[in-house]
Every structure is written in C-alpha cells, then in structure tokens.
Amino acid sequence: MNISGKESLYIGLSHCYFLKGKEKLLLSEKLDSLSSLVSLSIKDISETIGRQVRPKKWDKDLLNSLTDSSIKVMNSYDVRMLYFYDSDFPPQLREIPDHPFTVFYRGTLPSQEKPMLAMVGTRQPTGEGIEQALNLGKEAAEKNITVMSGLAFGIDAFSHRGCLEGRGKTVAVLACGPEMIYPRSNKKLAASILESGGCILSEYAPGTEPLSYRFPERNRIISGLSRSVLIVEAPKKSGALITADFALEQGRDVYVCESILQSLQNAGSLSLYEQGAFAIKCIDDILHDWKYPTENNLKKDQQNMLFTNL
C-alpha cells in the first residue's frame, strides 16, 4: 500500500489526540505533509486553530515514529483509511457534532443504500438479554439490515453473533486501532465478521491502545453511523446509555426491548422507555416506524389497493 505525503499528514494528525476533529481538518487544509506539521510549535498550532492547546507532550520525533508504525500496521493488516473529504467517507459521520477526521477500517464498508441499526447493551446481560440480542440480530440480518455494535462483551457480541447467524453484514466499531481487537477473547468473532463481508472500523489510527476515555468517544461513532439505536438491555450506569445520549443529540431514534423491560439488568432501558423511547417486540416494529418496506407492510398496501379498487 503506497501512502502519499498528504496521507501521512492525515495519519499524523490522527495521532494528535489533543485536537478536535474540526481542528485536525483545518490543519489538514493548511498543511501539505507530515514534515510541515512537525515543524510547527504548539503556539503555531494554537494560533492556527484559534484555541490554546496544552498537550502533555509535543514530541515531534515520536509523532514521526507513530505515523511510520501506523503505516506498517496498515500494510500488514490491510487497513484502509478514509479522510473526511474522501468520497467514500460515511456521509452520516460528516453530519454529527465532533465528527471524526479520519476513519480506519478492515473489511468491506457497509453500503450507504442499506439502513444500519445499532444494537448495544450491558457487558453482563441476563439470559433473556442474550436471547433478545441473538434473535433481534438474526432478524435484522434476515431483513437486510446491517447491525452496528462495539464488539464488547455481552450484548454487543451477541448482537454481532445473531446477525452472523442470520447471514447478514455487521460492523464492529472499536475504541482502539482497527488491528487491535479488544477484548482479545472476541478475536474469533472479529474474524467471522470480516469473513462474512462485514467491517471493523475505528477513528483511531493503527497502534492506538484501548484507553478508558476512548470508549465513550467510540459510542458517538456507533450511533452516528446508524439510522437508529436499539438498547437491548442496560442497567442505569451502562455505557450503552452514553450511546443513547449521543443518538438523541444526533437526531437518531432510540428503541428498547419491550419483553425484557423489567429484567434485573434493564433499569437503564426502563428509564429510557419512561422518557419516551419506543419499546419494540421485533425488528419489524422498527422497520414499520422507519416506514421501511417489509413483507407485512407490502401485504397491507396490496390489501388497501385492492379495497380501494373495489
């Protein structure tokens, strides 16, 4: 894989975690190479973006090294990169507040013509929650809906697995570099996602470790890529509720599972329901809410046409 000078700049900027996506974008428009970035002082960067930044460390040699390392990993793992202005950059992510500057991915990006549903929840689900995640993931696949989740323990993993059982496409969004599967115990699941034509995606450059603050940041990408978010099962302090908050901020609908609202691990979902989230029994309920064509909807339309013509 040949990386251009401009692409090296994008990778270098992706490692500048003290900058926001819009600030990286501004710098990428004004600079032409990685060397032009590392030639800047922190004062220069602050003046260019219009905000005083104070990174713990501005090590230019380290930035060069991180960029070189990322490029090697990209070649080894067939990781591709999309810059904000690339035609294939997911258009949904251009619209969200604090949009990512770049996206790194392995596998096949989901078709923009197909709707995507995020399915997330607790890392410690009940048996009922596991059953719902598997069944709804499979049902989504059978309805040709791409399932988006975070490859975490629990509901995320079972949502991915359900989708794979239904022979569908699923996308895992990581809080680390796309080559660094986390948790490691889900490596087989990640391999199955790629083998089935799915995708592993991250805004973080290859080599980036899964630090705790990156998981909430990752959640805005899960909701941002999706048309709607289904919270399968979540207690009150679940990270899945952060995804629900991002979804509402981004103008996405939030759904919960009606049949397990009273489960021991579902106080968070129950609270969302009480605040107005739509409780669903099956994927068709979501598709109906989307006004998306389903077999049942088509039959109803045909019946209505028949009665209209009588």
- Tens digit of pLDDT for each residue in 267-282? 999 999 999 999 999 9
Average pLDDT value for residue range 214-221 = 97
Question: What is the Cα–Cα distance from 251 to 253, expressed in whole angstroms?
Answer: 7
Q: What is the pLDDT of residue 305?
A: 43
Alpha-carbon Rg for the chain in angstroms: 21
Q: What is the pLDDT of residue 308?
A: 47
Q: Where do the DSSP E strands lie in 138-252?
A: 146-149, 170-173, 199-202, 228-233
Close Cβ partners of 73 (under 8 Å, ≥ 6 residues apart)? 79, 177, 179, 206, 207
Q: What is the pLDDT of residue 7?
A: 97
Q: What is the pLDDT of residue 124?
A: 97
Confidence of residue 3 (pLDDT cuts 50, 70, 90): confident
Q: Could you identify the residue written with the tokens 């986390």?
A: 182
Question: What is the Cα–Cα distance from 180 to 77, expressed in whole angstroms?
Answer: 10
Question: What is the Cα–Cα distance from 257 to 135, expressed in whole angstroms?
Answer: 12
Average pLDDT value for residue range 212-221 = 97
Closest by alpha carbon to 175, among 227, 221, 237, 108? 221
Q: What is the pLDDT of residue 300?
A: 47
**How many CB atoms lie under 10 A from the CB of residue 56?**
6
Relative to beta strand 146-149, strand 116-121 is parallel
Q: Is the pTM of this model over 0.75?
A: yes
Q: Where do the DSSP E strands lie in the chain?
A: 80-83, 102-107, 116-121, 146-149, 170-173, 199-202, 228-233, 253-257, 278-280
Q: Could you identify the residue written with the tokens 């713990």?
A: 56
**How many CB atoms lie under 10 A from the CB of residue 249?**
14
Residue 21 has pLDDT above 90, yes or no: yes
**Class of residue 292 by CB neighbours under 10 A (exposed 0-12, middle 13-18, buried 19+):** middle
Phi and psi at residue 98, to the nearest 5°: 50, 55
**pLDDT exceeding 90 applies to what percent of the chain?**
90
Closest by alpha carbon to 58, among 31, 37, 33, 73? 37
Mean model confidence pLDDT for the chain:
94
Q: What is the pLDDT of residue 71?
A: 97
Q: What is the pLDDT of residue 78?
A: 97
Phi and psi at residue 32, to the nearest 5°: -120, -5
- Token readout for 303 is 């019946």
Q: What is the pLDDT of residues 47-83, one digit of tens each?
A: 999 999 999 889 999 999 999 999 999 999 999 999 9
Close Cβ partners of 50 (under 8 Å, ≥ 6 residues apart)? none
The domains found in the chain, sorted by start residue, are 1-76 (no CATH), 116-290 (3.40.50.450)
Report CA dihedral (152, 158, 164, 165) to the nearest 10 degrees. Answer: 170
Q: What is the pLDDT of residues 159-183, one digit of tens each?
A: 999 999 999 999 999 999 999 999 9
* Greatest C-alpha distance within the chain: 78
